[in-house]
Structure 1
Amino acid sequence: MPAAPSAVLAHPAPSPAESAAFMLAKLQYHADAWDVAEDLRAGLADIVVIDTRAEALYAAGHVPGALSLPHRRMDAASTAGLDRTKTYVTYCDGIGCNGSTKGAYKLAALGFSVKEMLGGLDFWRRDGHPLATGSAPGSMRDAQLLECGCA
């Protein structure tokens, strides 16, 4: 009896060079919660994390160190005080929410360097990272990170 054709290989894999270029492009657009947490804990000043959700959701729990800037209010006036030399990392609730994508789009259209945090607050919590509450950003500086499962 002949073997069934491969569903995976019905569309052949790209060349190694094509795969490398594609994966690099993905990394240029996205960051994961673990990498964001490590940079925030280290106090790196090159990134600014933006919570694109409504202010009430931000106050209920957000990434420590993140600024609240709901995507619906992003425009030239609301972003005038942002430093254009930084890279902004947007997030929202998770994969079922596109607020981080809308925020990243708006920031990029306004001339800011931007990445989107994969999985949003959902993946942040799944990784075991702490939340800050209230209207103040809080800090990750003294947070203890668990062991990364994908290292």
Structure 2
Amino acid sequence: MITQQSRPTGQSPAGAPSSVLATPPAVPADAAAYFAARLAFHTDVADVHTALSAGAPDFVVVDCRSTAAWDQGHVPGAVHLPTARIPADAPQLLDPEVPVVVYCWGPGCDGATRAALALARLGYRVKEMLGGIEYWIREGCPTETWQGTETRPADPLTAPVDEGDCGC
């Protein structure tokens, strides 16, 4: 009988590949190209927060949500530019030489993807902030409203609570 310890990697007890490896992983060179490309299109909350906290970001943050959503709270210093207004307002609000990081509600929303597409079509270099405002708040980053700035405690399911970063 094959045990977990003696079973060849990637095989189920019946000898067939696991559902994880039913489609084999890409060869390392293809995986490296894919992950490098993915990082060209996305950034995360922790990296955006760290750069903004350093005081001299080399990008501008754009909140592409509605005015009502913006008023509920947004990334401090972000530019409010709802997706539908991008074609008309981006040239007045954004410098085409400065990369843009867009965000919307969260991982269940394609709003930032649509905004990034609209900006890219206008010639802007753009990345999407994964997690959106949801993870910005859940990771304990400050939000700004007309009433001032608020910082909620980090959610221990999404961010380390005793350290400055997750170490990744």
Residue 127 of structure 2 is matched in structure 1 by: 115
Task: Select the structure with the greater relative contact order (CA < 8 A; seq sep ≥ 6).
Answer: 1
Q: In 1, Cα distance between the equivalents of 2:116 and 2:99?
A: 11
Shift >4 Å, 4+ stretches: none
Pairing of 1:13-52 with structure 2 (within 5 A): 13-52=25-64
After superposition, the C-alpha distances for 1:77-124 in whole angstroms (9 at most, x for unaligned) are: 311121111110000010122111111010000110000000101111
Larger radius of gyration: 2
Residue 153 of structure 2 is matched in structure 1 by: none
Q: Which runs of 5+ in 1 are unaligned?
A: 139-145
3-state secondary structure, aligned to 2:84: helix
Pairing of 1:56-71 with structure 2 (within 5 A): 56-71=68-83
Q: In 2, Cα distance between the equivalents of 1:17 and 1:44?
A: 35
Residue 80 of structure 1 is matched in structure 2 by: 91
1:41: how far off?
0.8
Percent identity, aligned pairs only?
A: 44
Q: In 1, Cα distance between the equivalents of 2:74 and 2:132?
A: 10
Does 1:149 find its partner at 2:161?
A: no
TM-score by length of 1: 0.86
What is the aligned-residue RMSD (CA, Å)?
Answer: 1.9
Q: In 2, Cα distance between the equivalents of 1:39 and 1:130?
A: 14
Alignment length (residue pairs): 142
After superposition, the C-alpha distances for 1:26-75 in whole angstroms (9 at most, x for unaligned) are: 00000000000011111234200000001121122001111100001111
TM-score by length of 2: 0.78
